[in-house]
């Protein structure tokens, strides 16, 4: 089966990270502007398809625009048509797999990522995406294998190290997880989630100063990173820095995506507890 080069990059370059949901999507003036641009692109591509119904790339690109608008089934229909027209392009399968993943249809996503990997064995992205599915579904050994394959194809793939670290952590192999988070950060110091996850390991090991440092770096990168505020709050509390812990618990509650989540309710109780302690005269117990 012939292998084609990766010509269709629009959606393939979207990294399907487990980090999804760690920070909120931007709102405001950019949102409507981007949506209008995507709608215009869909209209343009629809006209192009009307002129040439056999244009696989146009179907793929329209699928990518539909995906970006959250129209996952419309995207899948477009990717499927692109595959029917040209079944040897790995990116078409990879893109459809991303859409299936967004719908929670993991078996279909696995099929498409596997097919993409078969068509282009030198591409690390399908293996990376397979690892993400396996992490999501609790198949952590398979996730490690998939991420390792992605890393062997691209040794500078920071996100693959970061996500393999998550798999190792869930397998109880904390030292390997720590090594992967550290490697990910050496390759890409902008990965806030890797700082957060490494900080969590430091916290569990009683290395509270190191934990505070990593959580702080995560927050500097993404000031609305709720989990990092929570982690740093607990570390500050262990260090006896109660005022800092109180402020971080407040920040966690303010930035939490789900106000009624058990973690938020716990943080609210911690806020009351710390406020009470801070009102006590010195020395505090």
Inform me whether the pLDDT recorded for 21 exceeds 70: no
Pairwise pLDDT comparison (274 vs 15), residue with the higher score: 274
Looking at residue 238, its pLDDT comes to: 98
Q: What percent of the chain has pLDDT over 90?
A: 85
Looking at residue 282, its pLDDT comes to: 65
Inform me whether the pLDDT recorded for 12 exceeds 90: no
State the Cα–Cα distance between residues 61 and 75, nearest whole angstrom.
9
Inform me whether the pLDDT recorded for 18 exceeds 60: no
Looking at residue 164, its pLDDT comes to: 98
Domain contains 51: yes
pLDDT band at 5 (very low <50, low <70, confident <90, very high): very low
CA-to-CA dists, residue 30 to 25, 27, 36, 62, 70, angstroms: 11, 7, 10, 21, 16
As a whole number, the mean pLDDT across the chain is 89
Domain contains 108: yes
Please state the separation of Cα 6 from the chain's center in Å: 23
Q: In total, how many domains does the chain have?
A: 1
Domain contains 168: no
Domain contains 11: no
CATH number at residue 94: 1.25.40.10
Domain contains 248: no
**Phi, psi at 3, each rounded to 5°:** -110, 135
Inform me whether the pLDDT recorded for 245 exceeds 60: yes
Domain span at residue 53? 43-120
Domain contains 85: yes
| 271 closest CA partner among 223, 221, 240, 230 | 230
Instruction: Judge contact between 56 and 85, C-beta under 8 A.
Output: yes
pLDDT band at 276 (very low <50, low <70, confident <90, very high): very high
Helices first, then strands: H and E counts in the chain: 14, 0
| 275 closest CA partner among 242, 230, 237 | 242
Residue for token digits 């078969």?
118
Q: At what angle do helices 192-204 and 208-221 cross, to 10 degrees?
A: 160
Pairwise pLDDT comparison (15 vs 86), residue with the higher score: 86
Task: Please write the tens of the pLDDT for every residue from 228-237.
Answer: 999 999 999 9
Task: Please write the tens of the pLDDT for every residue from 98-137.
Answer: 999 999 999 999 999 999 999 999 999 999 999 999 999 9
């Amino acid at each position: 089966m012939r292998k084609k080069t990766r010509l269709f990059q629009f959606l393939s370059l979207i990294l399907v990270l487990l980090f999804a949901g760690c920070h909120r999507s931007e709102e405001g003036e950019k949102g409507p502007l981007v949506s209008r641009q995507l709608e215009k692109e869909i209209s343009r591509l629809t006209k192009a398809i009307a002129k040439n119904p056999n244009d696989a790339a146009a179907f793929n690109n329209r699928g990518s625009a539909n995906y970006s608008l959250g129209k996952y089934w419309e995207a899948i229909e477009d990717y499927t048509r692109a595959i029917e027209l040209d079944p040897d392009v790995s990116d078409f399968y990879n893109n459809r797999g991303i859409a299936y993943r967004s719908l929670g249809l993991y078996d279909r996503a696995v099929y498409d990522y596997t097919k993409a990997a078969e068509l282009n064995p030198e591409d690390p992205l399908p293996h990376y995406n397979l690892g993400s599915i396996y992490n999501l579904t609790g198949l952590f050994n398979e996730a490690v294998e998939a991420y390792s394959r992605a890393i062997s194809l691209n040794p500078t793939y920071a996100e693959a190290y970061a996500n393999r670290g998550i798999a190792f952590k869930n397998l109880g192999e904390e030292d390997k997880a720590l090594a992967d988070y550290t490697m990910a950060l050496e390759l890409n110091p902008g990965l806030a989630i890797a700082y957060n996850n490494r900080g969590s390991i430091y916290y569990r090991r009683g290395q509270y100063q190191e934990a505070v440092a990593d959580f702080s770096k995560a927050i500097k990168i993404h000031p609305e990173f709720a989990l990092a505020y929570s982690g740093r709050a607990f570390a500050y509390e262990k260090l006896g820095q109660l005022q800092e812990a109180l402020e971080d618990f407040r920040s966690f509650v303010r930035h939490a995506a789900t106000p009624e989540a058990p973690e938020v309710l716990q943080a609210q109780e911690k806020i009351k507890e710390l406020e009470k302690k801070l009102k006590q005269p010195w020395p505090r117990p």
